[in-house]
Amino acid sequence: MSDTTILDTNAILRYILQDDEEKTKTVKEKLSEARCLVPTEVMAEVIYVLVKYYKVSRKNAVMAAEKFLALENVFPKESTIVYQSLKAYASTKLDFVDCVLSGYQMQGYSIFTFDKKLQNYLKKIA
């Protein structure tokens, strides 16, 4: 069994929002005792929920995510792509998944899409 724990969206949201004292405390305990991995898909859902459901601004959602990811025992699965995605999300009107795709392009992958907004952005950063 691994000593790494994968955090889900709800755990991260409880930590960021601190809207449930008991669950926030439990997440903090987990963060203090285990290496915690954050998959890119989970970070995408965290951003989506913060912006769409909790009405947090894009800028504040990115700042909260970056602050969370900077915690000692927290490790994004694809850290370079996640950080590039957050930066793109804060500075564009693209949805977060498109920003993740732009992060992949910045790592040398070729992106195939019919999405005009994404195509235009990918050309800008190429």
Q: Which of 91, 118, 114 is nearest to 102 (CA)?
A: 118
Query: pTM of the entire structure?
Result: 0.92
Average pLDDT, 10 consecutive residues per value, the chain (126 residues): 86 98 97 95 97 97 98 94 96 96 96 97 95
Sorted by where each begins, the domain ranges of the chain are 4-125
In the prediction, which pLDDT does 72 show? 93
Q: 4-125: which CATH architecture?
A: 3-Layer(aba) Sandwich (3.40)
Q: What is the pLDDT of residue 3?
A: 82
What is the structure's pLDDT at 86?
97
